[in-house]
């Protein structure tokens, strides 16, 4: 047999600690949550000194201000601007957008072009959501709700500066995360990400690709996600994510999932898939049901999509949550 190689070439120990749980910059900056600055680098040093070679985090996605949950994100692809650090170690790319020197300007433009497939829908969504007072997209004016190209373009002409600032935020996050990942690698520490199987209804992902989800003509879910009753919850759990239209996704070879997994592998050495069993079958709860008890199982794509995910991510880089 050939020698094993990759993240699981040996036994490893690690720690699950989300970035926000690191010591924050303090009340002087208005945030007590951790970010990608000095404390993140100190934690890498701590792990290395303790003989740990894995740092596991929760999703790094931008969150809704109502709950702050990274599992209810505004985008499955974008980074959370709240994690951007202004300390001396991380802030080298934080010059004012309008005053960037030529090398930075070129790097910024090139990165935006490389990431355009997810970046442009995200910045459009984020800018329009602000225009609507942060209301969920199914409540927007119909033309913008339905992403009519002409209406979106017209609305964004008044938001050019904001859209460019949103792109800049994402670039700064990407640069800071890449530097932290490089530092972790230099210390022998792998970064382990987390991918929720479902996405939020009020997200750039669903707004920009609603044909891939089971929604009605107004953008509302037909059924929502959850899990059946068990010893811990007599009525089951209702999570309220929209369900995928697996037939629509299969029609183009699961391209959306390929992009999502590829994006996570750009960020992490290892990726955990939360609620992995949902690929085999998922619990569908009717929208008007009082509890998740009234739900039912609907088969998923199973091995068909798993083969694609592994091929996209590379062998030995995906981890399945085994609950259920």
In a domain, 1, yes or no: no
How far is it, in rounded angstroms, from Cα 251 to Cα 246?
Answer: 9
Provide the pLDDT for residue 9: 84
Provide the pLDDT for residue 1: 38
pLDDT grade for 277, boundaries at 50, 70 and 90 = very high
Domain CATH code at residue 238: 3.20.20.80
In a domain, 102, yes or no: yes
Residue 27 has pLDDT above 50, yes or no: no
How far is it, in rounded angstroms, from Cα 215 to Cα 245?
Answer: 9
Please tell me the pTM assigned to this model.
Answer: 0.92
**pLDDT (tens digit per residue) in 206-237:** 999 999 999 999 999 999 999 999 998 999 99
Residue 29 has pLDDT above 70, yes or no: no
**pLDDT (tens digit per residue) in 242-255:** 999 999 999 999 99
**pLDDT (tens digit per residue) in 89-122:** 766 666 666 666 877 888 899 999 999 999 999 9
On the CB side of 169, CA atoms within 13 Å amount to: 21
pLDDT grade for 203, boundaries at 50, 70 and 90 = very high
pLDDT grade for 7, boundaries at 50, 70 and 90 = confident
In a domain, 241, yes or no: yes
Cα four-point dihedral sign 158, 164, 167, 172: negative
In a domain, 21, yes or no: yes
Alpha helices, H only, 136-251: 142-145, 149-157, 160-186, 204-208, 246-251
Give the strand pairing for 54-56 and 14-16: parallel
Number of structural domains found in the chain = 1
Domain coverage including residue 67:
14-320
In a domain, 163, yes or no: yes
In a domain, 35, yes or no: yes
pLDDT grade for 86, boundaries at 50, 70 and 90 = confident
How far is it, in rounded angstroms, from Cα 185 to Cα 207?
Answer: 36
pLDDT grade for 8, boundaries at 50, 70 and 90 = confident
In a domain, 126, yes or no: yes
How far is it, in rounded angstroms, from Cα 110 to Cα 100?
Answer: 14
In a domain, 9, yes or no: no
Residue with tokens 């964004």: 156
**pLDDT (tens digit per residue) in 39-75:** 999 999 999 999 999 999 999 999 998 889 999 999 9
């Amino acid at each position: 047999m050939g020698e094993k190689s990759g993240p699981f070439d040996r036994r490893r120990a690690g720690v699950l600690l989300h970035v926000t749980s690191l010591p924050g910059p303090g009340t002087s900056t208005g945030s007590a949550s951790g970010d990608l600055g000095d404390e993140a680098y100190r934690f890498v040093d701590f792990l290395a000194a303790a003989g740990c070679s894995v740092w596991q985090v929760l999703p790094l996605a931008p969150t809704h201000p109502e709950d702050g949950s990274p599992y209810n994100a505004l985008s499955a692809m974008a980074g959370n601007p709240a994690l951007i650090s202004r300390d001396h170690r991380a802030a080298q790319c934080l010059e004012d957008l309008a005053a960037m020197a030529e090398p930075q300007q070129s790097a910024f433009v090139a990165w935006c072009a490389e990431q355009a497939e997810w970046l442009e829908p995200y910045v459009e969504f984020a800018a329009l959501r602000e225009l609507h007072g942060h209301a969920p997209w199914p409540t927007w004016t119909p033309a913008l709700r339905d992403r009519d190209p002409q209406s979106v373009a017209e609305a964004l002409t008044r938001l050019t500066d904001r859209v460019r600032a949103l792109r800049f935020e994402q670039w700064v996050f990407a640069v800071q995360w890449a530097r932290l990942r490089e530092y972790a690698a230099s210390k022998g520490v792998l970064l382990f990400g987390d991918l929720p199987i479902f996405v939020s209804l009020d997200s750039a992902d669903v707004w920009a690709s609603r044909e891939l989800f089971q929604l009605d003509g107004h953008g509302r879910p037909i059924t929502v996600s959850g899990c059946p009753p068990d010893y811990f919850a007599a009525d089951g759990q209702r999570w309220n994510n929209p369900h995928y239209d697996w037939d629509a996704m299969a029609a183009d070879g699961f391209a959306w999932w390929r992009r999502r997994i590829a994006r996570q592998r750009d960020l992490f050495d290892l990726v955990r898939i939360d609620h992995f069993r949902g690929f085999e079958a998922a619990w569908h709860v009717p929208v008007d049901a009082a509890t998740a008890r009234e739900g039912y199982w609907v088969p998923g794509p199973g091995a068909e999509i798993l083969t694609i995910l592994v091929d996209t991510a590379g062998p030995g880089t995906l981890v399945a949550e085994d609950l259920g």
